[in-house]
């Protein structure tokens, strides 16, 4: 497959998430747009199951292709066998449904509608961004338990002050969302709003979602932000 390198990169990132302790059990999700690498053989693949409604019409990604982690699958398993723990989906030409075309009839991540809404925004406004990554970085989540840091302004002031690379490589900073139920429309809408100005969004007491030109780029953003959070957590009398 032409996009083997892209999926192998997803597997590499999944392994690093597990090694860092950011992807406990089946936690976290990743979705990457592979449309640019799809050839005619892939386009001719029949669906493995009936179409599934997205619950919205996403015109900007109509007819496009994505690789995503399968629901209930673990990042550590995706790292070893990406096609046994992930699926390739095709968005319907109408933009309101998707179908699984490879490699097994697994269900995509339960957060898929939120991720696809993000990719729809990216395709329309920031087409160079192809990947979305959600994970649970320990120190960043810890900072979101500190009440006085629970705002976009205060969180960025804190992280940018820790190490110069944070401001250099994450100049847009981190959007912050107050706690919302995982998978809720409130969380999805708030995330989309924050992505207008940021490449990553902190979900209070939950985790972070980042976008990037590819999956490694999205990972790098989270890695840098969490390094700053590690330094803050290491300061005595935190």
The answer to whether 133 and 13 are in contact (CB under 8 A) is yes
The answer to whether 192 and 106 are in contact (CB under 8 A) is no
Q: Which of 59, 99, 111, 148 is catalytic?
A: 111
User: What 3-state DSSP class applies to 209?
Assistant: strand
**Which tokens in the block code for residue 83?**
């096609």
- Angle between helix axes 152-160 and 215-234 (nearest 10 degrees) is 80
d(CA 219, CA 163): 18
Is 165 a known active-site residue? no
**Which tokens in the block code for residue 235?**
């300061």
CA nearest neighbour of 120 among 219, 188, 198: 188
Classify the C-alpha dihedral 143-79-213-120 as positive or negative. Answer: negative
The owner of tokens 């096609």 is: 83
The answer to whether 12 and 220 are in contact (CB under 8 A) is no
Q: Which residues are catalytic?
A: 111
């Amino acid at each position: 497959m032409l996009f083997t390198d892209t999926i192998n990169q997803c597997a590499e990132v999944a392994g690093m998430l597990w090694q860092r302790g950011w992807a406990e059990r089946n936690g976290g999700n990743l979705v990457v747009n592979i449309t640019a690498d799809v050839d005619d053989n892939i386009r001719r693949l029949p669906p493995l199951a009936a179409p599934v409604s997205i619950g919205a019409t996403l015109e900007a990604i109509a007819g496009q292709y994505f690789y995503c982690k399968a629901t209930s699958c673990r990042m550590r398993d995706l790292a070893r066998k990406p096609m046994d723990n992930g699926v390739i989906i095709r968005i319907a030409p109408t933009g309101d449904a998707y179908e699984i075309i490879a490699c097994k009839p697994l269900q995509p991540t339960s957060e898929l509608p939120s991720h696809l809404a993000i990719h729809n925004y990216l395709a329309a406004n920031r087409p160079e961004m192809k990947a979305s990554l959600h994970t649970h970085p320990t120190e960043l989540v810890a900072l979101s338990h500190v009440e006085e840091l629970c705002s976009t302004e205060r969180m960025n002031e804190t992280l940018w002050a820790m190490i110069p690379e944070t401001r250099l490589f994450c100049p847009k900073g981190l959007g912050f969302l107050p706690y919302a139920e995982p998978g809720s429309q409130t969380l999805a809408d708030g995330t989309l709003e924050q992505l207008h100005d940021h490449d990553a969004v902190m979900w209070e007491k939950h985790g972070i979602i980042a976008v990037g030109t590819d999956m490694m780029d999205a990972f790098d953003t989270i890695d840098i932000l969490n390094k700053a959070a590690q330094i803050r957590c290491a300061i005595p009398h935190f």
